[in-house]
Amino acid sequence: MTDAARPAADQQPASSAPPTNPATGEEAADPYHWLEDVTGEEALAWVRERNDETLAGLATGQRFEELRTQIREVLDSDDRIPYVARRGGLLYNFWQDAEHPRGLWRRTTLESYRTDHPEWDVLLDVDRLAADEGESWVWKGAPVLRPELRLALVELSRGGADATVVREFDLQTRTFVQDGFQLPEAKSFVGWIDADRIYVGTDFGPGSLTSSGYPRIVKEWRRGTPLAEAETVFESKPDDVLAYGGHDSTEGFERDFVRRRIEFYAGETYLRTGVDLERIDVPNDAEVDVQREWLMVVTRTPWTVDGTTYPAGALLAAPFEDFRAGKRALTVLFEPDEHTSLAGSVWTRHHLIVNTLSDVKSRLEVLTPPTPATGAQGVNPGWTRRPLSGVPEFGSVGQVGADPHDNDEFFLQTSGYTEPATLRYGTVDGDLEPVKQAPAMFDTEGLRVRQLFATSDDGTRIPYFVVGSERPAADAPTLLVGYGGFEIPNLPGYQAATGRAWLARGGTYVVANIRGGGEYGPRWHRAALRENRPRAYEDFAAVARDLVARGITEPSRLGTQGGSNGGLLMGVMLTRYPELFGAIVCQVPLLDMKRYHRLLAGASWMAEYGDPDDEGDWAFISKYSPYHNVRAGQPYPPTLFMTSTRDDRVHPGHARKMVARMRDLGYDVASYENIEGGHGAAADNEQLAFRNALAYEFLWRQLTKS
């Protein structure tokens, strides 16, 4: 950090106390509680002061401008792959570039898409709409009515928040439907039933939202009637996370489902049969999907059925109607082992493509179910499987654009840390054809990718990837990133901005696959839940130590960066393991773990972290809550906190209060709060490039002292 943003060692910085009276009552013990007032004048004045300090110290000079320009070129590149979702015979894409920073919703044909220069049919220009209406609209999606594919429910956010407005849109006339379905700004869900009915959950008034701020009431809303007259289909409990409804329009298998999410990892799925709801009898923590004849279940904990126990992380299948009738003949389509886990699956018309991870490297198989006649016997001897090749050794794979309604076509993307993404098109029984290739955005000559393993405090082997020069300079910095939560895996993939901003400048990039994530399925996640959360932090610290022990870096040259749950990880590294790092970037973080469940969507994460209001839970949460573990006189490394005023998922008060407390203790800390951006902290590519440039410039200065 520059001198402009660093308090002198012998000078106490200006106090962060508000200019008005402090809070009273339960919150009086927190002198920085006033910073939770998201748009309060005093809080925003404080934010602007911190922003000015940080920008004066970082966002200056030729190097920063070059860095921002290079990242912006990556984000706006016309050579990027326009990823598509298939609906009927057309491919839909949302595209942002320098000319269209808010984006274009558009579509084309498969034939045109396979050419070098597709002809795009623009459906909605979000930039023009934002200019016409004087709003900072950010695209959030648009469910399209099947099978006609004429009507859509466009969801738009002000400044990138999770809350959206909903407007019905006519894809033929390219206009919003006058007197069509519309919802004011709220955290809503919507889904088509038919041309005259939709499922809706929104803020219907007092008591209609859960304690997490999401809809708890599912209604069926008929065209031309007031929202207040919509028929209630289901009500979940106030302390649930949310409830929502959906319609499966597959011809011959039209069904309606209601899902109740009790907590983040547990819920109930109901089949709607007329006025009744029939619960699908699977464990609350299992994931459920129904595709044509088949019920698919992914277990999160062991499940014993008719004397057979299926392990956590298994993919199971059964004929849906047989299962409804009480039969429990389940076919194991995937079973995890110590090294392998399920990454996901996607249906084509007749096949299931299963993506698995073997020590965090992707493998694909094509599974074909038996015919309905065979399946109806309840034995299911006819499931067949074969591998799908073409995945790079240190790459990740994702299925993009498969449409289970019509055919067996699919798009397959592969990429690696040093291999730009390739999008391939094919059919399950045919060849894969490369149709789009992302450009190389940075020089990879001399770079190598290694997978190494560190040993955590309890003896568990923790995998991590190292990307960097085979002969790095002696003073080259290293950046370690991680997440470790919500069963989300941190997979290999091409990151052009990181390549330009870090690798191409001589830095080393490291990705840690710590517990709490999904790299090894539910067991890897559950190992760091609730009272076991410190294992994730011990894993990350073990990787940091291993990097030093192997001679890859030194603590003074090791930086770390993470956001959201990864921001909590950064907060713990700062307060518990400060000696391991030379600099930290903490983005859109959770930090005040005493109040996280009372702020915005925080209550929905109590299954992950625990309930701070419970004395037993607070006993283990308090030991790592970063906001409550800041102490004077500690060797904390320079830290940059970044958040967004419009983040309505993780409250910006977490970062604000942490910065205020650390400043008042005299620590080397800076912050930047983007007004727009939601949880992503950026509403368009310009803001995203600026935010990333700040982070990389901060890390490079601190770790290289240049």
Q: Which residues are catalytic?
A: 564, 679
Rg (CA), the chain: 26
- Residue 143 CB coordination number (10 Å): 17
Task: Report residue 449 as tokens.
Answer: 């990718």
- Angle of CA points 437, 362, 405, to nearest 5°: 70
Q: What is the token pair recorded at 232?
A: 């209630």
User: Could you identify the residue written with the tokens 């921001």?
Assistant: 567
298-303, Cβ contacts within 8 angstroms, sequence gap of 24 or more: 298/342, 299/522, 300/265, 300/522, 300/526, 301/522, 301/526
What are the residues whose beta carbons fall under 8 Å from the beta carbon of 666, sequence distance 6 or more? 7, 9, 12, 13, 632
Q: Per-residue b/e over 589-626, b at no fewer than 16 CB within 10 Å?
A: bbbbbbbbbebbbbbbbbbbbbebeeeebbebbeebbb
Q: At a CB cut-off of 8 Å and minimum separation 6, what does 21 contact? A: none
Calpha distance 661→30 (Å, rounded) = 10
- Taking phi over 0 as left and psi of -120 to 50 as alpha, with beta for the rest, 22 belongs to beta
DSSP E strand boundaries for 359-494: 361-368, 384-388, 395-400, 409-416, 422-427, 432-437, 447-455, 461-469, 478-481
Question: Which residue do the tokens 């249906």 mark?
Answer: 347
- Return phi, psi of residue 235, to 5°: -125, 125
Over 344-383, what HEC string results?
EEEECCCCEEEEEEECCEEEEEEEECCCHHHHCCCCCCCC
Name the DSSP class of 602.
G
Q: What is the DSSP letter of 80?
A: S
Nearest to 103 by CA among 132, 138, 78: 138
CB atoms inside a 10 Å sphere around CB 8: 9
Question: Count of alpha carbons within 13 Å of 555, Cβ hemisphere only?
Answer: 14
Burial class (CB in 10 A: 0-12, 13-18, 19+), 99: exposed
CB 648 within 8 A of CB 162: yes
Count the Cβ atoms, other than its own, within 10 Å of residue 522: 24
**Cα 212 to the chain's mean position, in Å?**
18
The kind and range of the H/E element at 296 are strand 294-298
- To which H or E segment does residue 653 belong? helix 653-664
CA–CA gap between residue 392 and residue 369 (Å, rounded): 27
Closest CA to 502 of 585, 618, 587: 585
CA dist., res. 399 & res. 420, Å (int): 16
